[in-house]
Structure 1
Amino acid sequence: MTGSRKSADALGEAETIALRVLGFIASTEDLFDVFVNASGVSADHVPTLAEDPEFLAAVLDFLLMDDRWVIDFAKAEGIAPEVVMQARAGLPGGDLPNWT
């Protein structure tokens, strides 16, 4: 597999996880309101923004703010919690150092 193909696959997988996170946020009582308020994004614009990798990175950043949210998402999806951080690394800005 060529490097660009591998990168495209990784981006696609990261976007898929981020879309699943967005669905989780939208379906979790009160969490969508917290997301909309924290991001300043209109709820009406979320479907359009969901096509933007930078927005999807912000969705993952939001979920990663709270370990409980990450764990709840991972349980609901039947995946390891680390998958969320791995997906974040595959989206724009994910290669930036984490200073915390």
Structure 2
Amino acid sequence: MTPDRAETVALQALAWIAADEELLPQLAGATGMSLGDAKDRAQDPVFLAGILEFLCMEDRWIRRFCDDNDLPYDLPMKALMSLPGQQRDEWP
């Protein structure tokens, strides 16, 4: 997966989380960021990796995100592993 595609998946995840009344407060609590802060950092690949790390904390979140966006369940983790500082051989 290219870094650009990984960033696109992370931006989809950020938008999806922002629209979810359950997850947005959890993201804010976990990061200490407001939605405005998140928007300001939306072009930062390291921040986007953090969004995917948050999403990947719960299988049910991954399933809901992927089902809502018609994506394969392994895509968020593959995207995470394609962002800076996350590359690992087991996630091509």
Q: Does TM, normalized by the shorter one, top 0.5?
A: yes
Give the match for residue 22 of structure 1: 14
Stretches of structure 1 lacking an aligned partner (at least 5 in a row):
1-8
CA distance in 1, matches of 2:42, 2:32: 15
Give the greater-gyration-radius structure (CA): 1
- By relative contact order (CA 8 Å, sep 6+), the higher-ranking structure is 2
Give the match for residue 72 of structure 1: 64
Give the match for residue 79 of structure 2: 87
Q: Hey, which of these two has a bigger chunk of helix by percent?
A: 1
TM-score (norm 2): 0.90
Measured after TM superposition, the shift of residue 29 of structure 1 is 1.5
Give the match for residue 32 of structure 1: 24
Dislocated runs of 4+, deviation >3 Å = none
Stretches of structure 2 lacking an aligned partner (at least 5 in a row):
none
Report % sequence identity.
Answer: 36
TM-score (norm 1): 0.83
SS of 1:92's equivalent in the other structure is coil
